[in-house]
Amino acid sequence: MKKIISSFLAALLCLSLAAPAAMAYGPWDGRTAVSSNLWTGMALGLNNFRRVRDYYPGIYSDVPAGAWYESGVRTLYERGLAEGGKRFSPQSRITLGEVVSLAVLIHRTYNGWSMPEGMSGLQYALNTGIVTADQYDDYTAPATRRSFAAIMAKALPTEALKGINIVMDGAIPDVPMTDPGAQGVYRLYRAGVLVGGDVWGTFYPNDLITRDTASVIVSRMVEPTLRQGTTLMKETSYQVYLDRTSMLLSPGQTDRLTAVVYPVNNLMEQRVTWTSSEPRTAIVDQYGTVTAIQPGTAIIIASTPSGTMATCSVRVVAWY
């Protein structure tokens, strides 16, 4: 049965990623501005999600002006990630297959890649690690918030989802670190793509994802200025926490890490010491500012007087 479903999905994704906009199965898949170019040779990065057309109220009859999700719909439409039409169907559920199709489109656009001839969307997703073999049994089933986050977190690389928020492991109330979707959920929280549904950052991972919510999440992925700030701490013994665990720089570039020690009731523990495992590759000053020296990998360590520490892996690459 799984083989039959996988074959069906491969055909579905192949069609949705190659067909003209008029043949696509919904507003997610209008690629008038995107698929008309092969993107081959274009620069890597979020700049590939450039604005290609103007949005105006009324493009979708079921998206009222001022709706909480309108900015998400606007962003996707303007960047060619959603096609215009009579209806957007904001309350409609999304299948796992549609989520994979959207993630493939985002991955391709970011990397400036065309779809290899004869390759299905599912095979592309498997080859690039967006999904893994046997990760899901039925791609025609509705996607949950957990599965949506797990798939979409793989659509962009680390440098496109830089950490801007302090979200400690286990701090999301309903997403323990043992949750199968925890890695993707926490990555998107730390990048400001997700912030949760209440002041505690509750995620509701088992709820089914709808198009209105999905549009807001994806808009924050492709447009960093829309990302949101949040801080989620977990009551525990003293722990130092960094705003990100990896960093990509080129020689001469600098970037700053932020360290938070929790709880904050001990001034001595707030004194963070910064060190680099490989100063020939990257150095760090007393304020957490990292400077890349030469290609290689270095581990930046933030430690407190009691010995608690956190690390960030810094990869230095020479761009020619």
DSSP the chain: -HHHHHHHHHHHHHHHHHS-GGGSSSGGG--TTTTTS--TTPPPSGGGS---S---TTSSTTS-TT-TTHHHHHHHHHTTSS---S---TT-B-BHHHHHHHHHHHHHHHHTPPPPTT--HHHHHHHHTSS-TTS-S-TTSBPBHHHHHHHHTTTS-GGGS---SEE-TT-STT--TTSTTHHHHHHHHHTTS---SSTT----TTSBPBHHHHHHHHHHHH-GGG----EE----S-EEEES-SEEEE-TT-EEE--EEEES---TGGG--EEEES-TTTEEE-TT-EEEE-SSEEEEEEEE-TTS-EEEEEEEE----
Given this model, what pLDDT does residue 131 score? 96
Task: Yes or no: say if 123 and 132 are a contact pair by the CB < 8 Å rule.
Answer: no
Establish if 231 belongs to a structural domain: no
Looking at the structure, do residues 45 and 180 belong to the same domain, yes or no? Answer: yes
Establish if 72 belongs to a structural domain: yes
**CATH number where 274 lies:** 2.60.40.1080
Quote the CA–CA distance of 217 and 50 in Å, as a whole number: 17
Quote the CA–CA distance of 143 and 149 in Å, as a whole number: 10
Looking at the structure, do residues 123 and 253 belong to the same domain, yes or no? Answer: no
End residue of a domain, out of 168, 194, 226: 226
Looking at the structure, do residues 204 and 244 belong to the same domain, yes or no? Answer: no
Positions in the chain whose pLDDT score sits under 50: 1-42
Task: Yes or no: say if 96 and 5 are a contact pair by the CB < 8 Å rule.
Answer: no
Establish if 234 belongs to a structural domain: no
Looking at the structure, do residues 73 and 131 belong to the same domain, yes or no? Answer: yes
Looking at the structure, do residues 95 and 172 belong to the same domain, yes or no? Answer: yes
Looking at the structure, do residues 183 and 297 belong to the same domain, yes or no? Answer: no
Instruction: Give the model confidence (pLDDT) of 103-153 as tens digits.
Output: 999 999 999 988 888 888 899 999 999 999 989 999 999 999 999 999 999
Quote the CA–CA distance of 126 and 122 in Å, as a whole number: 6
Looking at the structure, do residues 212 and 246 belong to the same domain, yes or no? Answer: no
Given this model, what pLDDT does residue 271 score? 81
Q: Number of C-alpha atoms within 13 angstroms, CB side, residue 14?
A: 12
End residue of a domain, out of 201, 226, 251: 226
Q: What is the largest CA-CA distance in the chain?
A: 64
Peptide bond into 263 cis (omega under 30): yes
Given this model, what pLDDT does residue 237 score? 56
Given this model, what pLDDT does residue 200 score? 86
Range of the domain at 139: 2-226
End residue of a domain, out of 204, 226, 248: 226
Given this model, what pLDDT does residue 268 score? 57
**DSSP states along 25-75:** SSGGG--TTTTTS--TTPPPSGGGS---S---TTSSTTS-TT-TTHHHHHH
Looking at the structure, do residues 115 and 216 belong to the same domain, yes or no? Answer: yes
pTM above 0.85, yes or no: no
Number of domains in the chain: 2
Task: Yes or no: say if 310 and 240 are a contact pair by the CB < 8 Å rule.
Answer: yes
